[in-house]
Structure formats: structure tokens, C-alpha cells
Amino acid sequence: MQNFYNSDAKGCHGGIILFIIKIILRVIAMSEEKKIIVIDEKDNVATAIKKINTNTKITKHIVTNSKIDPGFKIAIKNIEQGENIIKYGEIIGKANQKIERGDLIHTHNVEGLRGRGDKLKECDKE
């Protein structure tokens, strides 16, 4: 076993340097890789096209506040409670809480506005 480690270490100095360079290149490439799609200029959300870890810098101004899975949405602007969520340049729902730029956008912080029989029922009760 000792021999194995020795021989491995001797032959690997060049390899390690190459490996480190490769990692650095990969990190640079990844930071430049497109991670999100904004469909319309009016949108306040973008769609992740790959998995993005929490605390990842996506653009100059946007850092993720949580993990975003591919296909899921991320706020690209600060959104107030009650403000419309815009995707495809159209209203897709309303924020039910304050949303920070970089937050995951999904059913936990966005409500649909259409087909809300449940809301109607609450009004009827009142």
C-alpha cells in the first residue's frame, strides 16, 4: 500500500496543477453560464434553466436567497405584498407576502386570482 501511495504522489504533481486549473476554468465558465430566462421585459420573475444553489450570484444585482430548481421562478425585483406577479408580460398572480429579489417564487408566496371559489365563500360568510 505504501508503494502505491508513493508512486501515485510522485506522478501527480502536474496532474494536481492541471486539475486545479480545470476547476478554476469551470468555475469561471459556470459563473458566465446562463442560469435564468426572463421571457418579457415587463416580468418581475425569471425561470431557472438549471439548478441554482442558495447564495449564488446570478447577475450583477441578483443573488439567490434559496435553492432554485430548474423550471422554478425567482424574483428579479423586490415585490410588495399584494403586488402582481408578471411572467410572459402578463399577470400570473399576486404576492401574498413581501418578496425579496432573489427569492423563490411559488405557491407559498403567490396566489392565483382566477377561479377562486374559496374566496367567494369567505365573502358570502361575511
- For other proteins, the binding residues (CB under 8 A) are 37, 39, 47, 49, 69-73, 85, 87-88, 90-93, 105-107, 110-121
79 or 110: whose CB is closer to other proteins? 110
**Cβ proximity to other proteins, 39 vs 63, nearer residue:** 39
Shortest distance, CB of residue 88 to other proteins, whole angstroms? 5
3 versus 107: smaller Cβ distance to other proteins: 107
Give the residue from 24, 27, 2, 4 showing the smallest Cα distance to 16.
Answer: 24
Q: Judging by beta carbons within 10 Å of its beta carbon (0-12, 13-18, 19+), is residue 38 exposed, middle or buried?
A: middle
Nearer to other proteins, 8 or 100 (CB): 100
Closest approach of other proteins to the CB of residue 102, in Å? 17
The string of DSSP codes covering 69-107 is: -TT-EEESS-B-TTPEEEETTEEEEEESS-B-TT-EEST
- Cβ at position 49, least distance to other proteins in Å: 5
* CB of 98 closer than 8 Å to CB of 80: yes
